Amino acid sequence: MMPLTLSDVGEENIIKKIGGKQEVKTHLENLGFNVGSAVTVINTIGGNIVVKVKESRIAISKEMAQKIMV
């Protein structure tokens, strides 16, 4: 298991765990980051990470991405 920030661009991963406070977990789950879902890093821009999750592209901060374990 590793944080999403260490994933290579274009590599599809399965979310294994979401860490952080409950409000952070709820926010990420509302965006589509659920345990068992596939997530792909599309690009990294200025410390932020653009990911593809459930056919949507979402930009999240590096801090948020470190809470997503794949």
Backbone angles phi, psi at 6, to 5 degrees: -90, -5
Instruction: Say how far apart CA 70 and CA 16 lie, in whole Å.
Output: 5
Residues 48, 49, 53, 57, CA torsion sign: positive
Q: What is the pLDDT of residue 58?
A: 94
Q: Which helix (H) or strand (E) holds 50?
A: strand 48-53
The structural domains of the chain, with segments of one domain joined by +, span 4-69
pTM: 0.89
pLDDT in tens, 18-64: 999 999 999 999 999 999 999 999 999 888 999 999 889 999 999 99
Q: Which CATH architecture has domain 4-69?
A: Roll (2.30)
Taking the C-alpha atoms of 59, 49, 65 and 18 in order, what is their torsion angle to the nearest 10 degrees? Answer: 50
